[in-house]
Each structure stands twice: as structure tokens, then as C-alpha cells.
């Protein structure tokens, strides 16, 4: 009799769960399980990294040229000082003095041009580093999230670095789609679903062992971060490169 009573209570609890669409309003029901998704534009990131490498090499080259021009300038200035002193002592070295003076002017112009290149490369590197930081953070706008399992969708309006996406707690398969910059990306996840009731009588769906279905996505790469080997909902993070 006691076992029958327990079964009836459990069935009533499950029926209450099945009729609750908004979990926050259901007494004794914990928020629906979700997974965090971050999205990174892999093509743009690769382009930025390649250009950063080229610009950094160019900046290193201008720095080395700057060092060489500084040495030449110092040498010419020292030579001009010696010639000026010699002329002051009666030496007939005006032609050599004029030549050195012209060379100093020419080297100074090269130093000026090199400094402009240096400033340009530095500015471009700083700009690309800002872009790279934004790309790596995953700060992109996902236009729409699709639940492909039940043909529901949600239109999003705010840019975020991470999106909390509900998982399918009625089935061990979650099929999700994401519209990003006019392109549709999809991913299928398999997981273990269990109904659990805690010591206070709160019931919830526990989802764990979350992983991608092999080859069932069209992202260029996916990195999964779990707090432990259980890979539970509300803890797992997917970083998707598109």
C-alpha cells in the first residue's frame, strides 16, 4: 500500500511537470536544463591572425631598419663634428662637410619615412588585436535559435558572448539550429535524461553525459568544456567555430 501511494505521488508530480511551460512559475520545479554556446567566426579569426603575423614581421623589420639608420646618423654626425672642427682649425674640408651634411639630411628623411611606417604598422596591429579579442570572446549576434526536434524557434535581439540554450528534456536527443549572419548552422546532441526528486521534494530533469552526435553538425570545429566527466546541463559549454 505504501509503495502504491509513493507511485501515485510520483505520477502526480510528473503530470504537473508535463504541463509546465515556464519552469520559474512551477512550485517545486527547478529551471529547465540548458547548455552554454559560444560562437567564433573561424574564417575571420584566421584572416586576422594571418595579417597580424605579416604586420608584426613588418614592424620588426622597420624596427631593425630604425636601429641601422640611427647608427648611420650617429656616425655622420660625429664625422660632421670632426670636419667642422678641422675647418675651424684652418682645414680645407668644406666640400667634404657639404657632402656629409647632405647625407645627414637624406638619412633624416629615411628615418622620418621609417617612423611613419612604424606608426602605421603599430596602429594596424592594435586595431587587429581589438578585432581578435572580440572574435575570440564570441561576441556575435545569433539571429534565431531553432529547436529542430519540435520545430520551435526563438528570435534573439541582443549580442552576447554566450547563449544559454534549453535542451530537450523529453528525449535523449537535442537537435538545435542557429542562424548567424544569414547562415544556418545545426548541431545534434545526445545525452542521458533522468527525473530526480531532491530531499525537499523538488522535481527536475537531470541531463548529463552530453556530447555531440558524430558528424551531425556543420561547424568547422567544436570545443566542449565540462566541469567534470559527467558533462552535465547548466555546466557544459560548447565553443562552436563557424
Per residue in 31-49, pLDDT tens?
689 999 999 999 999 999 9
Query: Contact at 8 Å (CB) between 217 and 182?
Result: no
pTM value is 0.67
Per-residue pLDDT at 82 = 86
* pLDDT digits 0-9 by tens, 116-132: 999 999 999 999 999 99
CA dihedral 92, 95, 100, 101 (to 10 degrees): 100
Q: Which residues of 50-84 are buried (b: 16+ CB within 10 A; e: fewer)?
A: eebeebeebbeebeebbeebeebbeebeebbeebe
* pLDDT digits 0-9 by tens, 79-100: 999 888 887 777 778 888 899 9
Per-residue pLDDT at 103 = 94
Q: Is 156 exposed, middle or buried (0-12, 13-18, 19+ CB in 10 A)?
A: middle
Q: Which three cell numbers stand for residue 113?
A: 619615412
List beta partners, residue 175: 188
Amino acid at each position: 500500500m505504501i509503495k502504491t501511494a509513493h507511485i501515485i505521488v510520483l505520477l502526480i508530480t510528473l503530470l504537473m511537470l508535463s504541463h509546465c511551460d515556464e519552469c520559474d512559475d512551477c512550485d517545486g520545479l527547478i529551471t529547465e536544463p540548458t547548455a552554454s554556446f559560444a560562437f567564433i567566426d573561424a574564417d575571420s579569426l584566421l584572416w586576422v591572425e594571418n595579417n597580424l603575423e605579416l604586420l608584426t614581421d613588418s614592424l620588426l623589420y622597420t624596427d631593425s631598419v630604425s636601429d641601422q639608420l640611427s647608427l648611420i646618423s650617429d656616425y655622420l654626425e660625429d664625422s660632421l663634428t670632426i670636419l667642422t672642427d678641422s675647418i675651424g682649425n684652418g682645414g680645407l674640408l668644406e666640400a667634404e662637410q657639404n657632402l656629409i651634411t647632405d647625407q645627414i639630411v637624406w638619412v633624416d628623411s629615411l628615418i622620418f619615412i621609417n617612423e611613419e611606417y612604424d606608426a602605421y604598422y603599430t596602429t594596424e596591429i592594435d586595431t587587429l588585436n581589438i578585432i581578435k579579442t572580440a572574435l575570440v570572446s564570441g561576441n556575435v549576434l545569433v539571429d534565431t535559435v531553432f529547436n529542430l526536434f519540435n520545430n520551435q524557434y526563438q528570435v534573439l535581439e541582443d549580442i552576447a558572448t554566450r547563449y544559454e540554450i534549453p535542451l530537450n528534456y523529453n528525449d535523449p536527443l537535442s537537435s538545435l539550429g542557429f542562424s548567424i549572419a544569414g547562415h544556418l548552422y545545426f548541431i545534434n546532441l545526445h545525452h542521458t535524461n533522468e527525473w530526480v526528486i531532491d530531499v525537499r521534494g523538488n522535481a527536475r530533469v537531470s541531463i548529463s553525459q552530453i556530447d555531440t552526435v558524430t558528424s551531425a553538425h556543420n561547424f568547422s570545429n567544436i570545443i566542449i568544456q565540462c566541469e567534470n566527466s559527467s558533462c552535465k546541463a547548466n555546466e557544459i559549454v560548447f565553443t562552436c567555430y563557424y
